[in-house]
Amino acid sequence: MSKAVLTPEQQEFQEYARRWLAENAPPPPPERLPITAIEVMTVGQRDYLQAWQRKCYDAGLVGADYPTEYGGGGHEGFQRIANMELGRAKVPFLINIVGLNMAAPTILVHGTEAQKEKFIPGCLSGDEIWCQGFSEPGAGSDMANQQTSAVPDGDDWIVNGHKVWTSLGHFAKWMILITRTSKDHKYDGLTYFLCPIEGHDGVTVRPLVKITGEAGFNEVFFEDARVPDAYRLDDVGKGWTVAMTTLTYERGAAESAGSGGGESVHPTQRLIELARDTWRDGECAADDPVTRDAIMQRAIVAEGMRQNGRRARVEALCDHPMRLPLQQKLTSSEFVQDNARVGVDIAGAKSTLYKLDERAPSKGYWPLAYMNSYGHTIAAGTNEIQRNILGERVLGLPKSK
């Protein structure tokens, strides 16, 4: 974002954010951090990242555009600047990814005043970690096929069922939860709750170990778990509509006012550094024309994505309001996967050396990135589902059967 498009107040905020981050970068973590928040596994990693998010929030770099009555900064157009500066400073990512990018914006749209005041500040500060209860073992990619039930009982609901692939569930205090409250209507039979998780009676969280050896995912069992009606988000039977709001933010089709942070390295810079450090038969990989072409292809795609991001923010340049935003999840997830594949190709046989091996190139980043990359094309609905959405809602193609 150039200074030419910033207001004087935004320019002042940008200078403040840049200065604050230079003066307050956290010390090295006590143990190695994962690539993203969804792989945070240990208490040491959690405590370090939670303290960092709290510090950024206190400095006004998280939730900058949220109303002050809900714990935000009350500004307009500041959060994007904060996100950019957090990335530029190469500081650790913010841990409460579900709270920031899904729970808080959904509560802001659909919540009561009491719900906004109670839940949004904890999302922004990171004091209360959130997880997402959308995926179920038997639902596949059809989110409307939810079977976890919620039955009214006085002022409460009794929840029974099984959720899976619950990132950060082992540290979460709250879950955004989709339940079935009627079997008579597939879409209108869903209801959305803000469900207590940590230490809550009837809720059991079990970690799932991934192919990477990390256990950021979980499965969550509900056995007669009691959830107050006061924690129901929007009306009974409106769960599908509320969930669409969540997915709009999760898939990147709407800008989250509370996101930000994370190490920012140009997407192809790691590949260039790897190629410069990799030698085969006495030749540097950076001098190999095939390798150079592969990296250049990735750079072209990265620049295309960057320009599409800029274009999406200019209404006059968009022929359909959802075309470019909806492409974001599809293109970015495949870009991550293709980048990792090129990295593994460049590293060659050494790409089999994992993160604990001192001989591993880039400290084992590439095999970890490669294995993790497949989660990106599945998360938030598979890319096949995303293609259907683009085809039907943007291109107007006949609905799939």
Q: Is 250 a catalytic residue?
A: yes
Largest CA distance in the chain: 75
**One-letter-per-residue 3-state SS of the chain:** CCHHHCCHHHHHHHHHHHHHHHHHCCCCCCCCCCCCHHHCCCHHHHHHHHHHHHHHHHCCCCCCCCCHHHCCCCCCCCHHHHHHHHHHCCCCECCCHHHHHHHHHHHHHHCCHHHHHHHHHHHHHCCCCEEEECCCCCCCCCHHHCCCEEEEECCEEEEEEEEECCCCCCCCCEEEEEEECCCCCCCCCEEEEEEECCCCCCEEEEEECCCCCCCCEEEEEEEEEEEEHHHEECCCCCHHHHHHHHHHHHCCCCCCCCCCECCCCCCCHHHHHHHHHCEECCEEHHHCHHHHHHHHHHHHHHHHHHHHHHHHCCHHHCCCCCHHHHHHHHHHHHHHHHHHHHHHHHHHHHHHCCCCCCCCHHHHHHHHHHHHHHHHCCCCCCHHHHHHHHHHHHCCCCCCC
Catalytic residue among 39, 128, 219, 250: 250
> CA-CA distance, 21 to 90, in Å (whole number)?
10
CA atoms within 13 A on the CB side of 103: 31
CA-based nearest residue to 75, from 1, 4, 11: 11
Q: How far apart are CA 228 and CA 70, in angstroms?
A: 22
Supply the residues annotated as catalytic. 250
